[in-house]
Amino acid sequence: METQTRSVLFVDDDEKYRQLVSCIAGDLGFEICQAGSSEEALVVLSGKRFSLMVTDLQMPGLDGLELAALAKLHDPSMEIVLVSGAVSAEVLRRACAVGVSTVLAKPCRVEEIMAVVRGERLSPATASAGMEFRLTRRLALGG
């Protein structure tokens, strides 16, 4: 049985950062697409399905949470990871409510993002100053 390559959409308005993580993920064998804005990501999503979308929170126009909500309407099965330097209880609640599976707090290393892309959990030994939040429906409901 042949395994399918995991397809990943990276969305970030920081072009150099987006290209760096995309290049590394591509070298690891993932099928990669990039978008520099939520609006660009929605165009890409209208023509292709992805296993995973990794998006920044704070971007001009639609933010990463608004993008996540729209992306989930398009493809409810797509896993979404939100990366943000502004993680708060409200961001986590909203992220969980729209179907984001993981929130990574910046600063985080590229290795941490790649671990999440591979579907691995971060351990305290491998995590830098960044933190990983795996979200559940219970969190969204305030439990």
Looking at the chain, which runs of residues are DSSP E strands? 7-11, 31-35, 52-56, 79-84, 102-105, 132-134
The CATH number of the domain holding residue 66 is 3.40.50.2300
The predicted pLDDT at position 115 comes to 87
Domain range for 68 is: 7-140
pLDDT of residue 69: 97
Tell me the mean pLDDT per 10 residues along the chain, length 143: 74 94 92 97 96 96 97 95 90 92 84 84 49 49 40
- Whether residue 1 is contained in a domain is answered as no
Residue 15 belongs to a domain: yes
Nearest to 107 by CA among 84, 123, 90: 84
CA distance 57 to 23: 21
Residue 18 lies in a domain: yes
Is residue 2 one of the residues assigned to a domain? no
Q: Which amino acid belongs to residue 134?
A: R
pTM of the complete model: 0.84
Q: Domain total for the chain?
A: 1
Q: What is the pLDDT of residue 111?
A: 83
CA 128 to chain centre: 18
Taking residue 33's Cβ as centre, other Cβ atoms within 10 Å add up to 17
